[in-house]
Structure 1
């Protein structure tokens, strides 16, 4: 059993990284292998909508996407975390998810003629456990959090929640002060335990 935490923050050692690693630490204590994947130094271009993946079964844009996508394929769970920028997730995380969403669908399905309906066979991410995390100075979480939820649900994933939305408040004035959000810490710890429980149930 393994979970990766994909952090969309461009800041090294920032607040979003703190909460991502905190959740991964809980999973480690639950005897689930984890890996932190920061996008800060990764080269990930945006999806061009070329639909080459329908035929090729791979993304023809060659950059760091392939390495991360392959990690996503091999794990039981994925944490998707982002700071909130103008009520949205970061561009690099959005680019990763756009391309991953296209490719995971066309690995498992064929495109049909225009006048026919789809009978989807799931995706390459079907029943993977996904947990979104958003971090903001004050507000804007809801839309960014929804972006991550919408991506996970359209790709046939199972959502892990907590005893409150997986959101944290930090970063006023650019501070790295995640440890001050005690409620947020408790939410992420509970999220880690919930994610571990779901993965263990699925692996019985």
Structure 2
């Protein structure tokens, strides 16, 4: 058994056998963005200090005695399902973690579309950023993993920006063309 020290903690060694080889992305000191593998690894979650898990469409099935959970059921990344009705609930859940000096992981299956959308919305809310700036903020912190909200989710983020700021910072036609272009380069691979 190999032992790794996480963040200098010598009291709780972690076996490499319990790690998937990757970690969720730290977006803010109290907020991580990840995937289902991250969310189903309680050893890693504890090592990172994560206390809250927001599951978007994919249930992590963690022990409720150890983690505070919010599970948004039956939400698919299909261009049909909407996250709009859940935005405020998700923001409150993340804020609860922040205000109690705790840490939240947001995840979906791969951490690219549904959970990235909620993360962008939170950044828009918390840092008072316009949509494009919040998108770039999250994308830069995702390191070697893309974020790729589908067009419906991007439209909902544009609506969220209008609600927060009173107007959209970008025209939908321009934004949808740019998102489509970004998404096409990954489909050709």
Larger relative contact order (Cα-Cα within 8 Å, sequence gap ≥ 6): 1
TM-score by length of 2: 0.31
Q: TM-score, normalised by structure 1?
A: 0.30
